[in-house]
Structure 1
Amino acid sequence: MSTFDLSSLTVLVTGATSGIGHETARQLAERGATVLVHGRTLAEARAATERLAATGLDAGRLCALSADFGCLDEVTAMARRVLADHPRLDVLVNNAATAAPERHTLTADGYETAFQVNFLAHYLLTRLLEPVLTDGPGGRVVNVSSSLHRTASLQWNDLQRSRRYSRLAAYAQSQLALTVFAADPRVTAVSVHPGVCATGLLSLYGVEGEPAARGAAHVVRLCDPATDVVNGAYYDRDERVEPAPGATEGRTVKRLTRRADELVGRHA
């Protein structure tokens, strides 16, 4: 990985208490970035920042944030804190993810768990942080997606998968939605499959995983302003490739945006 200095950057990494998210936060901090470390609870986020600081990283450039993505009101509250405390945000890394439960499960907000945690919460967070992400040049969003998005379809009449549920299909749909969302023109965004890594999601792939640090390096590369990106681009590790057919098609992007706006509207 490049060792270019990133000390001018402020980056929010969701799901930064373990796996690829934690390694992404570490590698960004090692290169000097100010890193907002998100966890499901404040205790988990603080523990993650303490682990990073214990390796010799500057604790003053690490900030713990919390929101349970199963509760959209918590996402809104976290976004408001970021807007109040960090008037400039250079990069948002939408990384937090959960494997879909074995049985069809709804969040307290009434949405299928994987669809909300992996997509809707990130959609809402991105929309709320849009003012600071677009305030200066180079602002961008990096969506950590999955090659499994290629196996998915957006069930427009049943996005909550209430009629026909499969945990793999639910997870894949959430990753397809995240990939489609990257093509939204309001904020420069890309999506990346960081490789199959040894994280809590490994069971979905049924194969051995690479170290999380290796996957994180592909994410960090896309955070670097020296890496030119095109809105909506999809990367398989460090190679730009075409996403699933239709993932960047204008009508699909607009339709998903309308539906997502309807679903998160009262929380925005």
Structure 2
Amino acid sequence: MTDLPDQRGRIAVVTGANSGLGLVTATVLARHGAHVILAVRDTAAGAQAAHRIGGHVEVRRLDLADLDAVRTFAAALTADHPAIDLLINNAGVVLLGPRRTTADGFELHLGTNMLGHYALTGLLLPHLAKAPAARVVHLSSITHKNAHLDFGDLMMEHGYRAATAYGRSKLATTVLGVELDRRLRATGSPIASVLAHPGLSRTNLTPRAWEHRGRAGRLIARLGLLVTQPTEQGALPQLRAATDPGVRGGRFLGPGRLWETRGPVTDARLSREAADPAVGRRLWTAAENLTGVRYPATP
């Protein structure tokens, strides 16, 4: 992607930046002049990514499945950088198999994909407010459209299914991105909360996770390569959400063809549940209570 605006002078944080969509996003931003923080769980992999990217990048450890680690990351980052221009909440897990939990006891998909990013964003918000036109980009998924939040069992302690848990975590991510936009607008904050999804990108189906599941798993992995678009294409919606001067808070961007699975970037459609303000308020309260992070009011 070569038509990005000049990113010189911007501090950009990209979670999960050592591979997949995050690596592409961090690479493009750095090569257009941004100072990029690679926020990664595996710093050795992050160092390899930084070497490949070049430019002004730094590697910092961030484990979104551990709220203490999120707080440590945020404290160190804000001590070293007076302002943050861009936060791209890209990292996520897609798991198969039995139910797993985070260090804080949350179901792993919800705890990593949504609650970890919710806490990170809240802790960084004062420094985002110091930048002239900061943005937070939330990585959604087309799977959010078929998901439904069960507020009686957010952690899926009953009837757990990995695919359902992933879809719910992406719906929760989307709900909170929209709700953050409402709250920022209500306070008159200049920070923009924007959403994007990659369609069917080759990183979404986690082929290696299927490979060990016998002949059927290997077939699914191979079919995934046929129906998905390249990672470079999948990263375009979040890159546009992060850098396009014409994008305003509340926009949701994604591929525009074949039921939003691939193609050029355009406005995507939210599910009814994702756009419901009552759902947004309820999930926000749940996230506050679960993480202990309460967002400061911003001017």
Calculate the TM-score normalised by the size of structure 1: 0.91
Asked if 1:144 is matched to 2:139, the reply is yes
Structure 2 gap segments, 5+ residues each: 185-190, 211-219, 256-264
Which whole-Å CA distance do the structure 2 matches of 1:217 and 1:235 have between them? 9
Asked if 1:250 is matched to 2:277, the reply is yes
Which residue number in structure 1 is paired with residue 254 of structure 2?
236
Alpha-carbon offset, residue 200 of structure 1? 5.6
Which residue number in structure 2 is paired with residue 89 of structure 1?
84
| Residues 140 and 170 in structure 2, CA contact (< 8 A), matched pair in contact too | yes
Alpha-carbon offset, residue 196 of structure 1? 1.2
Larger Cα Rg: Structure 1 or Structure 2? 2
Moved runs in structure 1, 4+ residues, more than 3 A? Answer: 200-207
Q: Which residue, 190, 194, 199 being the options, matches 1:190?
A: 194
Which residue number in structure 2 is paired with residue 210 of structure 1?
229
Alpha-carbon offset, residue 202 of structure 1? 4.2
Which amino acid in the other structure matches residue 6 of structure 2? D
Alpha-carbon offset, residue 66 of structure 1? 0.8
Which whole-Å CA distance do the structure 1 matches of 2:105 and 2:66 have between them? 10
Residues 1-268 of structure 1 aligned to structure 2 (within 5 Å): 1=1, 2-53=3-54, 58=55, 61-183=56-178, 184=180, 185-186=183-184, 187-199=191-203, 201-202=205-206, 207=224, 208-224=227-243, 226-231=245-250, 233-237=251-255, 238-265=265-292
| Residues 96 and 163 in structure 2, CA contact (< 8 A), matched pair in contact too | no
Q: Residues 147-178 of structure 1: CA distance to partner in whole angstroms, max 9, x if unpaired?
A: 00001111101000011111111000000011
Alpha-carbon offset, residue 218 of structure 1? 2.0
Which whole-Å CA distance do the structure 2 matches of 1:242 and 1:72 have between them? 31
Identity %: 32
Which whole-Å CA distance do the structure 1 matches of 2:267 and 2:8 have between them? 26
Alpha-carbon offset, residue 225 of structure 1? 5.0
Moved more, 12-21 or 179-188: 179-188
Moved more, 33-42 or 202-211: 202-211
Which whole-Å CA distance do the structure 2 matches of 1:168 and 1:256 have between them? 20
Which whole-Å CA distance do the structure 2 matches of 1:137 and 1:248 have between them? 28
Alpha-carbon offset, residue 241 of structure 1? 2.8
Q: Describe the shift of the 1:266–1:129 C-alpha distance in structure 2 as closer, same or farther (beyond 3 A).
A: closer
Q: Describe the shift of the 1:266–1:177 C-alpha distance in structure 2 as closer, same or farther (beyond 3 A).
A: closer
Structure 1 gap segments, 5+ residues each: none
Q: Residues 93-148 of structure 1: CA distance to partner in whole angstroms, max 9, x if unpaired?
A: 00001113411111221010011111110000000000011223311111111000
Which whole-Å CA distance do the structure 1 matches of 2:58 and 2:90 have between them? 17
Which whole-Å CA distance do the structure 1 matches of 2:10 and 2:159 have between them? 44
Moved more, 189-198 or 91-100: 189-198
Q: The residue matched to 1:182 in structure 2 has which SS?
A: helix
| Residues 98 and 201 in structure 1, CA contact (< 8 A), matched pair in contact too | no
Which whole-Å CA distance do the structure 1 matches of 2:124 and 2:145 have between them? 28
Which whole-Å CA distance do the structure 2 matches of 1:80 and 1:86 have between them? 10
| Residues 202 and 209 in structure 1, CA contact (< 8 A), matched pair in contact too | no
Which amino acid in the other structure matches residue 236 of structure 1? G
| Residues 145 and 175 in structure 1, CA contact (< 8 A), matched pair in contact too | yes
Q: The residue matched to 1:247 in structure 2 has which SS?
A: helix
Give the RMSD, CA atoms, in angstroms.
2.0
Aligned length: 261
Calculate the TM-score normalised by the size of structure 2: 0.82
| Residues 101 and 113 in structure 1, CA contact (< 8 A), matched pair in contact too | no
